[in-house]
Amino acid sequence: MSVAAPPSQPATVEVTCWTPMAGPSPDPEPRTTLLADPAAPGGTDAPVSHTLVLEVDAPTRSVAVDYRSLDAAVVPDHGVHVRTDDGDPVAVSEARVAGDGTFEVTLAEPRTDGALFVEYAVTRNPSGGRHTVGVVVNGARETEARLVVVG
């Protein structure tokens, strides 16, 4: 008995491609988180470290953080450091508390992708509950960052 082998055919793979009718928003809301070191035991009044983590997906030159809703203030004279997610330092041309109480950081060169970690000190962490701060990127892109006490 002889059985004929099926004709050899190349493997066929169907691919479906979906393209949305409208592209992504040209100015999506930036993704941010605010990490806070716990206060020192004994409740000292020493400043605590905060780190704003900002995902960069467009040229970013400035970040403003609004602490006015919290019982805390930024202390820029304790040092402000900006780094990438790889740990590379990013030069800061200015870091100051504006007249309205917002903390403003201006980068020497705009960053275009990855994550930025903006590290600075605040007078204290707010007590209990869930807290957020307002964040404005490049003077126009507004979002909120939830405060997460690490440790």
- Does the CA dihedral 87-151-70-74 come out positive or negative? negative
**pLDDT score recorded for residue 23:** 40
Residue 21 placed within a domain: no
- How far from 141 is each of 42, 60, 78, 122, CA to CA, in Å? 39, 10, 27, 23
Residue 102 placed within a domain: yes
Residue 85 placed within a domain: yes
**pLDDT score recorded for residue 27:** 55
Residue 11 placed within a domain: no
**pLDDT score recorded for residue 14:** 42
* CATH code for the domain in which residue 43 is found: 2.60.40.1290
- Give the C-alpha separation, 27 to 116, whole Å: 18
Give the residue ranges of the chain where pLDDT is below 50. 10-25
The half-sphere exposure of 140 on its side-chain side, counting CA atoms within 13 A, is 7
Count of domains forming the chain: 1
**pLDDT score recorded for residue 40:** 62
Residue 25 placed within a domain: no
Residue 37's domain comprises 32-149
Residue 4 placed within a domain: no
Residue 16 placed within a domain: no
**pLDDT score recorded for residue 57:** 86
Residue 27 placed within a domain: no
**pLDDT score recorded for residue 20:** 38
Indicate the burial class of 47 (C-beta count within 10 angstroms; 0-12, 13-18, 19 or more).
buried
